[in-house]
Structure 1
Amino acid sequence: MKSNACELVDIQRIPKPIAELLHKVGVNINGPEPHDIQISDERVFGAVLSHGSLGLGEAYMNGWWTVEKLDEMMFRLMRSDADELVKAWTKVQWVLRALREKVINLQAPARAFKVGEHHYDTGNDLFEAMLDPLMIYSCGYWEQAQSLEDAQLHKLDMICKKLQLKPGEKLLDIGCGWGGLAWYAATHFGVQVLGITVSAQQQAYARARCKGLPVAIELIDYRDLTGQFDKVVSVGMFEHVGLKNYSDYFDAVRGLMKTEGLFLLHTIGGFEKTEATDPWIDRYIFPNGKIPSPGEITEHVEGKLVLEDWHNFGTDYDKTLMAWHANFEKAWPQLEQRYGERFKRMWTYYLMTCAAYFRARKGMLWQLVFSHRQRPETYRSIRPLNST
């Protein structure tokens, strides 16, 4: 039975597994707290029991349930690993998804541009409204930051210092986004930059941003690159490489980097290995993505590059995502006509669920620095903003 949009469902009609799960994590159905879920359509129950996290997310997009503090509700679910119980309700589907990812190379060269077309080409107006002025679409570094702009500038500065950039060096930026890091490195550290992306909109925007600087921005897959670079960096791109391609990825970096060079990898990481990507994220946000575990990285880089440094500041992604959401909400009146209410619910669900993922420490943010074994110089890492 479907309820009217202005009414909430009778809690006596809630399936027992769902009621017990929510009660266990301290979330009440139609309760008074900001993290309590408000359900207006009984179809949400079938969606969750049949399709797990995909059904929950789609039900939110449909307006079948709401919550004042979506990030807090999802945090409570993830902190208690309730999301793992939901997976058990749809075990067959998860087994099939895991089998699909093992059998098919979802990030093969023929699929490399799909995520660019699906996500990063959504619209520059959306990302301009949501991100900082340099449009850095990755975790900021908040240790001494008072704003999103500060956090991103501090992150860029730290990356360049970890890479020990020197004037005249050639820097390869794999997954350059809208060109913010390329612009910063060329402007503040005097390097030449080649940035590559799989998004046509990012390429056009980055080229305009870096006009007049020793920066080239190309629409190309990393597997098709040739040449030699003093330093290599990749920020927020490794999540699209895929487990089947990790060895090829590190082989490519090794071949592109000079013997004395350094490679900085900035990536989301998982607390533990996962067999399949969350189906809602895969369908609506990042198709064919894959979050690496620590072991999956070390397994595929072993014997190729020396791991010099591993820095985790994953809780900073919670702050970054909340700042993006605040900007998105503020800009929504100007975006509404183009994107529509269903998109707003989808984008809100994406940002708030991801914030909860990092807040619950299921997700990490890693910066790893690698070198060639033949590099003669000892690498000394930095952490504080003012380190040299």
Structure 2
Amino acid sequence: MELQDVSVAPQAAAPVGVSEKEIIDNLLQGTGVTINGTNDWDPQFYSSEVISRVLAKGNLGLGEAYMDNLWDVPKLDEFFYRVVKGGVENRIKPAKLLWHSARFKLLNLETVKRAKRIGEFHYDLGNTFYQSMLDKYMAYSCGYWKDAATLEQAQEAKLELICRKIGLERGMRVLDIGCGWGSFMRYAAERYGVECVGLTVSAEQVKLGRDMCKGLPVEFRLKDYRKETEVFDRVVSVGMCEHVGRKNYRTYMKKACECLKDDGLFLLHTIGKRLSTSMPDPFISKYIFPVGQVPALEWLTQAAEGLFVLEDLHNFGADYDTTLMAWHERFEEAWPQFKDELGDRFYRMWRYYLLSCAGAFRARDIQLWQMVFSKNGMGGGYCSCR
């Protein structure tokens, strides 16, 4: 990740020009947010350049200005909650982002070659870094906080929920598409006595995952999901669909179907968006997940037509807010050991990523879905668990 440390020392909040002040006030109308205000969610601008960046590039401009230390706010998550809840992003249509929008609509950005870039750009950042932020299972997806008080409890509850939803039984073979460091496979093998095969494009994940799952019937394959041919009793995909891309959802569903026995179940765990017309966030696309795209529900159901019956749909998107805040807390605690290596600009980028996403989930602008599919419909119906 090529990020240079070009931090600027914070200064006293700069006055905003009259015309710029009017533009910003109009954008923030109804949010309760005031530039250079006194609340914990009120941003302090150290340069009027922030406004021009926002008007030119939307959240990308705002995020880059934050990385450059041109503004700050005591509670970044609460600032984003109010801005997203107030629909501010819908009032900004930067001309400079037209190509960003068009490329996701017209091009297939998630080819086999480009998919490998995700592992190199994001997940190969370093296992030590992620170990400091995540739970003991290294689950890098939303936890289930219904009866949980800690991150460990929430992630174990999520993994247990998945196992119960797909009816795991000892001796089954399970495919995990986008297995990460093997959190689900490790849990399922330990608790349910199943054999697991996991697919990932990250060499670093394979390295640590194999070590964490040593002695268990778990196999990691450094392999794109499109190249898998084996058939399994169950298929799961947790936090992978966000990297598939709209032009590949049908291929993704077909592959899950091909790899699943006729009486099997497929569980899909993914972030989802409310509006199919919204484009991927430009900041996340540039700095966090270079070819990521959050799906709309209709895109997934259309891709599954003729292949699967949707047996169950469970939305617990509000739990991602809590998960992200827990990750942020651990990130802050661990930061001193990474400070010299990664620098202040990375630190502010990562904070912006975690806390802006927490605010968006808090505003319920984005969701977290668990979907259970069968090939031909379950006789007598599917009994879900929560």
* 1:39-78 mapped onto 2 (5 Å cutoff): 39-78=45-84
Per the TM alignment, residue 375 of structure 1 is displaced from its structure 2 partner at its CA by: 5.2
* 1:137-148 mapped onto 2 (5 Å cutoff): 137-148=140-151
Q: Structure 1 length normalisation: TM-score?
A: 0.94
Question: Match for residue 31 of structure 1?
Answer: 37
Matched letter for residue 270 of structure 2? T
Residue-pair matches, total = 378
User: How has the CA–CA distance of structure 1 residues 374 and 176 changed in structure 2, closer, same or farther, with 3 Å as cutoff?
Assistant: same
Per the TM alignment, residue 93 of structure 1 is displaced from its structure 2 partner at its CA by: 3.5
**Is 1:217 equivalent to 2:220 in the alignment?**
yes
Matched letter for residue 87 of structure 2? D
Question: Match for residue 299 of structure 1?
Answer: 302
Per the TM alignment, residue 302 of structure 1 is displaced from its structure 2 partner at its CA by: 1.2
Per the TM alignment, residue 149 of structure 1 is displaced from its structure 2 partner at its CA by: 0.4
The one-character-per-residue Cα deviations of 1:327-362 (angstroms, maximum 9, x if unpaired) are 111111122112111111000000000001111111
Per the TM alignment, residue 4 of structure 1 is displaced from its structure 2 partner at its CA by: 8.1
Q: Secondary structure at the match of 1:230?
A: strand
Per the TM alignment, residue 10 of structure 1 is displaced from its structure 2 partner at its CA by: 1.2
Matched letter for residue 139 of structure 1? C
Q: Structure 2 length normalisation: TM-score?
A: 0.95
Per the TM alignment, residue 126 of structure 1 is displaced from its structure 2 partner at its CA by: 1.4
User: How has the CA–CA distance of structure 1 residues 4 and 160 changed in structure 2, closer, same or farther, with 3 Å as cutoff?
Assistant: closer
Question: Match for residue 278 of structure 1?
Answer: 281
Asked if structure 2 preserves the Cα contact closer than 8 Å seen for 1:195 and 1:217, the reply is: yes
| Aligned-residue identity in percent | 48
Matched letter for residue 12 of structure 2? E
The one-character-per-residue Cα deviations of 1:235-282 (angstroms, maximum 9, x if unpaired) are 000000001001111111111000110000000011111352111110
Question: Match for residue 153 of structure 1?
Answer: 156
**Is 1:130 equivalent to 2:124 in the alignment?**
no
CA distance, structure 1, for counterparts of residue 269 and residue 24 of structure 2:
37
CA distance, structure 2, for counterparts of residue 82 and residue 261 of structure 1:
44
The one-character-per-residue Cα deviations of 1:10-61 (angstroms, maximum 9, x if unpaired) are 1445442113323532111111110011011221121111111110000000
Matched letter for residue 336 of structure 1? K
Q: Secondary structure at the match of 2:300?
A: helix
CA distance, structure 1, for counterparts of residue 380 and residue 237 of structure 2:
22
Q: Secondary structure at the match of 1:121?
A: helix
Matched letter for residue 6 of structure 1? Q
CA distance, structure 2, for counterparts of residue 374 and residue 52 of structure 1:
44
Per the TM alignment, residue 209 of structure 1 is displaced from its structure 2 partner at its CA by: 0.7
User: How has the CA–CA distance of structure 1 residues 143 and 5 changed in structure 2, closer, same or farther, with 3 Å as cutoff?
Assistant: closer
Asked if structure 2 preserves the Cα contact closer than 8 Å seen for 1:260 and 1:376, the reply is: no
User: How has the CA–CA distance of structure 1 residues 203 and 233 changed in structure 2, closer, same or farther, with 3 Å as cutoff?
Assistant: same
* 1:292-371 mapped onto 2 (5 Å cutoff): 292-371=295-374
CA distance, structure 1, for counterparts of residue 60 and residue 277 of structure 2:
16
Tell which deviates more after alignment, 95-104 or 226-235.
Answer: 95-104
Matched letter for residue 66 of structure 2? Y
The one-character-per-residue Cα deviations of 1:292-313 (angstroms, maximum 9, x if unpaired) are 1111111111111010000000
CA distance, structure 2, for counterparts of residue 274 and residue 349 of structure 1:
24
**Pairwise CA RMSD:** 1.5
Matched letter for residue 8 of structure 1? A
CA distance, structure 2, for counterparts of residue 224 and residue 124 of structure 1:
26
Per the TM alignment, residue 103 of structure 1 is displaced from its structure 2 partner at its CA by: 2.1
User: How has the CA–CA distance of structure 1 residues 337 and 108 changed in structure 2, closer, same or farther, with 3 Å as cutoff?
Assistant: same
CA distance, structure 2, for counterparts of residue 152 and residue 313 of structure 1:
13
Q: Secondary structure at the match of 2:370?
A: strand
Question: Match for residue 250 of structure 1?
Answer: 253
Question: Match for residue 386 of structure 1?
Answer: none
Unaligned runs of 5+ in 2: 1-7
Unaligned runs of 5+ in 1: 384-388
* 1:2-21 mapped onto 2 (5 Å cutoff): 5-12=10-17, 14-21=20-27
Matched letter for residue 63 of structure 1? N
The one-character-per-residue Cα deviations of 1:136-173 (angstroms, maximum 9, x if unpaired) are 00000000001000000000001001110111100000
Asked if structure 2 preserves the Cα contact closer than 8 Å seen for 1:4 and 1:41, the reply is: no
Q: Secondary structure at the match of 1:269?
A: strand
